[in-house]
């Protein structure tokens, strides 16, 4: 009987020690989770930058000063002829092997650039369409063979050769003046081209707020590993980007895009061998990397071009904020603090947000009127 009582006492003490250990373990776990949540909340916080217009006319009317400005050309004509016209306005003559950097679009996406729209321009410069593989789970373009199939399905292989530039790996190019990146891992085959025409479809983006010229040469020209580094501020390099993105501050991500974009421009002879064209049509709040994007709820605007991608993206954003039906896209841009990429680009000495808009349609009309007047005068 005594032995049984002793055995019960020992069992009770053991149970109490077990419960005590469980409570201590649970307490430690809760403290660790609490510390992580505090760190995560502080780490992930970012302040939303308000939108302001940066066209020269508005700055002058509001008395806002600026040091420099870039020229942005625009046409409302979204057609092969309009694209040719806006390209001609840039007054550039590419030499050597020309790359046409665009997004082939995720399988099933209906909003990517139409090959029929860009065919004349691409073939007129004997261009090769270039892309790099993606870095997110579920993508049909994360491997070269699948990516080429998507490019074929979307009609791009019918108008030009297509080169997935990181099919044989990546090369590292330096990032000058960056605060998050010191090098950018880009598709290895970028070295095979002498000139780059960046042909972007301007639209929203679920992570960056918007996708335009800067995103096209940063995320777009980065290899899968390079994309992961940009998404995570240089911390991770192994795709997919899911975990790293969850641990990366939004501003660090957009800053890294600006830094990567600058490195590509620097690589192209400090911007001398690269120009930018953005098509503002089919503007969903989601990017072309989404297979089933949110339905488009705003009107098409036009085609814009510049030698300065920062000014070009700013001009596109300003047009979205001037659009009466642009509320959804405006909200997407602001919610993701998308404007920060422009702020940071300027801060590291890459481009300017200030621009002078030249509408080539108006110039064409003025030229035609002058020609008609001259003809009438000659008749008299």
Per-residue pLDDT of the chain (380 residues; tens, 9 = 90+): 555 545 555 555 666 666 777 788 888 888 787 777 766 776 678 999 999 999 999 999 999 999 999 999 999 999 999 999 999 999 999 999 999 999 999 999 999 999 999 999 999 999 999 999 999 888 999 999 999 999 999 999 999 999 999 999 999 999 999 999 999 999 999 999 999 999 999 999 999 999 999 999 999 999 999 999 999 999 999 988 877 788 899 999 999 999 999 999 999 999 999 999 999 999 999 999 999 999 999 999 999 999 999 999 999 999 999 999 999 999 999 999 999 999 999 999 999 999 999 999 997 765 555 555 554 555 55
Scanning 197-308, the segments in alpha helix (DSSP H) are 213-218, 224-231, 242-246, 250-267
- State how beta strands 302-306 and 274-280 pair: antiparallel
Residue 129 lies in a domain: yes
Residue 22 lies in a domain: no
CA distance 259 to 95: 27
Residue 269 lies in a domain: yes
Q: Is the pTM of this model over 0.75?
A: yes
Residue 172 lies in a domain: yes
CA distance 317 to 313: 6
CB of 270 closer than 8 Å to CB of 285: no
Q: Which two tokens stand for residue 41?
A: 């909340």
Residue 102 lies in a domain: yes
Residue 37 lies in a domain: no
Report the SS3 class of residue 357. strand
Residue 21 lies in a domain: no
Closest CA to 274 of 210, 193, 347: 193
Domain range for 255 is 46-367
CA distance 102 to 110: 15
Q: What angle do CA 276, 280, 281 make, to 5 degrees?
A: 140
Residue 370 CB burial class (10 angstroms; 0-12, 13-18, ≥19): exposed
Residue 18 lies in a domain: no
Instruction: Give the N- to C-terminal CA distance of the chain in Å, as an integer.
Output: 134
- Structural domain count of the chain: 1
Beta-bridge mates of residue 312: none
Closest CA to 244 of 259, 234, 257, 258: 234
């Amino acid at each position: 009987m005594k032995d049984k009582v002793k055995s019960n006492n020992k069992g009770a003490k053991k149970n109490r020690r077990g419960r005590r250990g469980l409570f201590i373990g649970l307490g430690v776990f809760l403290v660790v989770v609490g510390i992580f949540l505090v760190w995560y909340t502080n780490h992930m916080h970012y302040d939303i930058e308000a939108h302001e217009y940066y066209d020269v006319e508005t700055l002058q009317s509001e008395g806002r000063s600026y040091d420099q400005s870039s020229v942005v050309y625009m046409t409302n004509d979204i057609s092969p002829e309009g694209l040719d016209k806006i390209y001609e306005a840039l007054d550039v003559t590419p030499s050597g092997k020309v790359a046409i950097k665009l997004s082939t679009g995720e399988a099933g996406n209906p909003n990517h650039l139409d090959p029929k729209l860009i065919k004349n321009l691409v073939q007129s410069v004997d261009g090769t369409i270039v892309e790099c593989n993606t870095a997110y789970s579920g993508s049909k373009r994360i491997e070269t063979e699948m990516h080429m199939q998507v490019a074929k399905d979307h009609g791009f292989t019918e108008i030009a050769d297509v080169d997935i530039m990181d099919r044989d790996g990546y090369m590292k190019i330096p990032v000058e003046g960056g605060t998050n990146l010191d090098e950018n891992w880009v598709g290895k085959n970028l070295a095979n081209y002498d000139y780059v025409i960046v042909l972007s479809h301007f639209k929203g983006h679920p992570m960056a707020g918007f996708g335009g010229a800067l995103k096209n040469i940063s995320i777009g020209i980065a290899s899968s590993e390079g994309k992961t580094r940009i998404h995570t501020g240089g911390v991770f390099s192994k795709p997919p980007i899911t975990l790293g993105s969850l641990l990366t501050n939004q501003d660090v991500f957009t800053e890294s895009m600006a830094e990567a974009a600058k490195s590509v421009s620097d690589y192209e002879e400090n911007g001398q061998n690269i120009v930018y064209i953005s098509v503002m049509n089919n503007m969903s709040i989601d990017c072309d990397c989404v297979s089933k994007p949110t339905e488009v709820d705003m009107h098409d605007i036009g085609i814009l071009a510049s030698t300065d991608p920062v000014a070009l993206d700013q001009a596109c954003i300003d047009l979205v904020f001037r659009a009466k039906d642009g509320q959804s896209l405006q909200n997407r841009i602001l919610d993701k603090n998308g404007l920060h990429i422009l702020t940071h680009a300027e801060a590291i000495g890459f481009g300017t947000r200030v621009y002078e808009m030249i509408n080539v349609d108006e110039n064409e009309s003025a030229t035609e009127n002058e020609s008609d007047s001259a003809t009438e005068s000659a008749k008299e």
